[in-house]
């Protein structure tokens, strides 16, 4: 049950730890003014599963979005199992190519949406992006799951569950940030 719902025991522990981090203001979030958000920027480790999928879903809903990874190789293709899971959910990740943080070009109105608290801390420490508003994508899931554990090389059932959670969060973001809609 843990593998299919949380990826790993470590994923469950990190999820449990993320709630108090949020409650105590230790998540390194920087809340945006919703009226100023013009683009959703999805961030994860490799930009080949979670953030790549979030970007595809957001674009399909008419949102202005991009994605990048904190530790990846620009040009890398999406993870094979993520491509298959996305396809099962009706999305095509086959054309996705990863972008590394160093190749991401920040724009005014960007909202960084990370998958894990530790990723928010990395963003807060980076001089190029620390001024940008940043939040956890999982704050937009119901129930709120502030840690969306990396499905890379994990159980296929967890991959689908994780991508469904991402998809659900995008639906809430569309409502919360109408200024990020493409005209």
DSSP strand E in 8-101: where?
Answer: 39-44, 65-69
Q: What is the pLDDT of residues 25-81, one digit of tens each?
A: 999 999 999 999 999 999 999 999 999 999 999 999 999 999 999 999 999 999 999
Q: Which residue has the higher pLDDT, 141 or 7?
A: 141
Closest-CA residue to 45 (of 147, 145, 128): 147
Cα–chain-centroid distance for residue 55?
8
SS3 of residue 46 by DSSP: coil
Residue 11 φ/ψ, nearest 5 degrees: -60, -40
Q: According to the model, what pLDDT value does residue 154 have?
A: 85
Q: What is the pLDDT of residues 104-130, one digit of tens each?
A: 999 999 999 999 999 999 999 999 999
Q: According to the model, what pLDDT value does residue 98 have?
A: 97
Q: Which residue has the higher pLDDT, 3 or 137?
A: 137
Q: According to the model, what pLDDT value does residue 167 have?
A: 97
Q: According to the model, what pLDDT value does residue 37 have?
A: 97
Q: Which residues pair with 114 in a beta bridge?
A: 43, 136
Angle, to 10 degrees, between the axis of helix 9-23 and the axis of helix 117-125?
60
Q: According to the model, what pLDDT value does residue 183 have?
A: 76
Q: List the strands of the sheet with 39-44, edge to edge.
A: 65-69, 39-44, 110-114, 134-136
Mean pLDDT of the chain: 95
Q: According to the model, what pLDDT value does residue 112 have?
A: 98
Where b means 16+ CB within 10 Å and e means fewer, 40-74 reads bbbbbbbbbbbbbbbbbbbbeeebbbbbbbbebee
């Amino acid at each position: 049950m843990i593998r299919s719902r949380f990826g790993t025991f470590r994923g469950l522990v990190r999820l449990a730890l993320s709630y108090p981090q949020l409650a105590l203001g230790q998540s390194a979030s920087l809340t945006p003014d919703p009226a100023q958000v013009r683009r959703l920027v999805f961030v994860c480790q490799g930009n080949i599963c979670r953030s790549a999928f979030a970007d595809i879903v957001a674009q399909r809903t008419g949102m202005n979005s991009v994605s990048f990874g904190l530790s990846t190789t620009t040009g890398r293709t999406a993870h094979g199992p993520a491509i298959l899971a996305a396809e099962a959910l009706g999305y095509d990740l086959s054309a996705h190519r990863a972008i590394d943080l160093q190749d991401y070009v920040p724009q005014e109105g960007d909202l960084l949406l990370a998958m894990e608290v530790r990723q928010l801390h990395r963003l807060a420490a980076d001089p190029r992006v620390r001024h940008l508003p940043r939040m956890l994508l999982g704050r937009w899931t119901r129930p709120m799951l502030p840690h969306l554990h990396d499905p890379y090389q994990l159980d296929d059932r967890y991959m689908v569950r994780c991508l469904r959670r991402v998809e659900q969060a995008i639906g809430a973001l569309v409502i919360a940030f109408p200024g990020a809609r493409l005209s």
